[in-house]
Amino acid sequence: MWFEGLNKNEDFLKREFNNRNFSILLYYLSTVCKEDDIFDKLISPFYHTELSDDYLKYLLSFPNGLKVTQESEAAEQILDGNVMIYINGLLISVGMKDFKSRAIMESTEENVLQGPKDGLSENINVSINLIRSRYKRESLRTESHSAGSKSKIKLMLIYDAQIADKPALHELKEKLSNIQVDLIQSAGQLQKNIIRSTFNIFPLFMTTERPDRVVKNLSEGKIVVLIEGSSWALIGPATFFDFFESMDDPVQMPLIGQFLVFIRYVALLITLVLPALYIAIISYSPDLLKIQFALLVAGSRMSVPFPSYVEIMFMLIMTEFLIEASIRLPKTVSSTATTVGGLILGQAATEAGLVAEVMIIVISAVAISNFVIPVNSMHQAIRVIRYPLIIMASLLGTIGVVIGLLALIAYLCNLRSLGRPYMKLL
């Protein structure tokens, strides 16, 4: 009895067919194979063939028809959507897979104004199709790998063999083969398993759902990993600065594109430093400001009963709640939540004298500038890294902010993405 493990499945079928001269046995999972194709391409020709050898030749003429010798290998093929045909004492595998996925959808997480709108698909073949249609070079290579001891998810490594960074490619392959985890279902999860560092919060690989970004990176010698069942691709090696580029930049006139990138770095600085700087200036060195400005801030804080770090932590955490709530809530409710949170909480808090008006401006500026960073994984990292800076500012004032920033620079300079420096200015 073959395929003991699969036998207990409701959707596992074993069908026997006989004609006058010979018989065959088909094994497949009905849920992942196309039944119509099985009938048209396997069963119907079977009744029109006289000799078993001719039918065997016919089976091997399929582009993915192959002889399988081991039962375990055959079981894997069945799980991968192939049909196993037992004929003349041989097992032949023929691909009839029908894994469901969405049609090509619009990219929703990385919006652009003028660039192409299509996004990668959950189906690897469709994604490769989208990439190949934009990048027609002979040197483009696709290599299949798998990861996850239980999920056995198919990964596709794509790179341009002529320009890809060889040591990086070697390192990535090695890391992929060393992944020891049960399940992998998304690009982020794969990234985490490749990096394998508990304390790292910065994304060392770019994740994207845009085929145009994939192609741009391929043409720069980077390596792309597609994951079956996920519409996100992983791109490496990446640098810190890659995360501040949007696919809109090449579409714009050069000066405008550079201006947009510059604006993003300003936003990074504001979102990272402003809360810490507020604490440092208010609590430690108000003398840094011009007198009128210092008096204005002091005046607006007159009724506030807490030190500045309590005030800013309270509002920042409220903002975090608001962001989290608006992501998870159903769309119909989320607008109400933001109105209640943003408008009413902000206004009521200042009127009650719990927080200063200037602080509301600071917090709004911080929240808005955080969203300017175009790649989600980076803006999450920046969101978290603000808090150590705030703690440093609470303890040491301006000096704390500077030391915190220097430590951050040192940390970033020490990071490597597939052996390449992550933070190298020029």
Partner 1 sequence: MLRVRYYYYLLYLNFVVCIIEFTPKLIYSRRYTSSLSSSLISLIATCLLIMLLEKHMKPFPGQSIAQIMNGTLTHFFQKSLFFCCLVLSYGAGLIFLISYTQIIHRFICPDISFGLLFGVFLFFTVFVSLLDPKSTLFMLEIIVLFQIPVIVIMILLFLLDANIQVDFLVEASSYLLHWPSYQMIAAGAFLFSGYMNRLVFNEHLESSKPMKLLTIVFTVGLLLLLAYYFIPIGYFGLAGIGNDNDIWFTTTNSIRLPHFFIERFLVIFLIMQLGVSLMFVIICWHTSLQFLKQANLFNGGKLKWFWVSFLLVMSFVLWLYMNDSTVRNSLSWLLNIKLLFDIVLVFTIVRCARKRKAVV
Q: Which residues contact 391 (CB under 8 A, 6 or more apart)?
A: none
Q: How far is CA 374 from CA 139, 257, 264, 356, 380, in A?
A: 30, 14, 8, 30, 11
Q: What's the N-to-C CA distance of the chain in angstroms?
A: 65
87 or 274: CB nearest partner 1: 274
Question: Which of 225, 57, 238 is CA-nearest to residue 145?
Answer: 225
* Distance from chain centroid for Cα 412: 21
| CB closer to partner 1 out of 126 and 413 | 413
Least separation in angstroms between residue 402's CB and partner 1 is 5
Nearer to partner 1, 183 or 409 (CB): 409
| DSSP H stretches of helix in 204-253 | 211-219
CB contact set of 351 (below 8 Å; sequence gap of 6+)? none
Question: Shortest gap between Cβ of 407 and partner 1 (angstroms)?
Answer: 6
| The pair of three-digit structure tokens given for residue 292, joined into one six-digit string | 């009128």
Give me the least distance between CB of 388 and partner 1, in Å please. Answer: 13
Residue whose CB is less far from partner 1, 27 or 284 = 284
Beta strands of 77-222 (E only): which ranges? 82-87, 90-95, 140-147, 153-160, 206-208
Nearer to partner 1, 1 or 425 (CB): 425
Q: Which is nearer to partner 1, 222 or 420 (CB)?
A: 420
For residues 389 and 271, the answer to whether their CB atoms sit within 8 Å is: no
Q: How many Cα neighbours within 13 Å face the side chain of 36?
A: 1
Residue type, 194: I
Binding site for partner 1 (CB under 8 A): 284-285, 287-291, 293, 396-400, 402-403, 406-407, 409-410, 413-414, 421, 423-426
CB of 191: closest distance to partner 1 in angstroms? 22
Minimum CB separation from partner 1 for residue 95, in Å?
A: 48
Minimum distance, C-beta of residue 410 to partner 1, in the bound complex (Å): 5
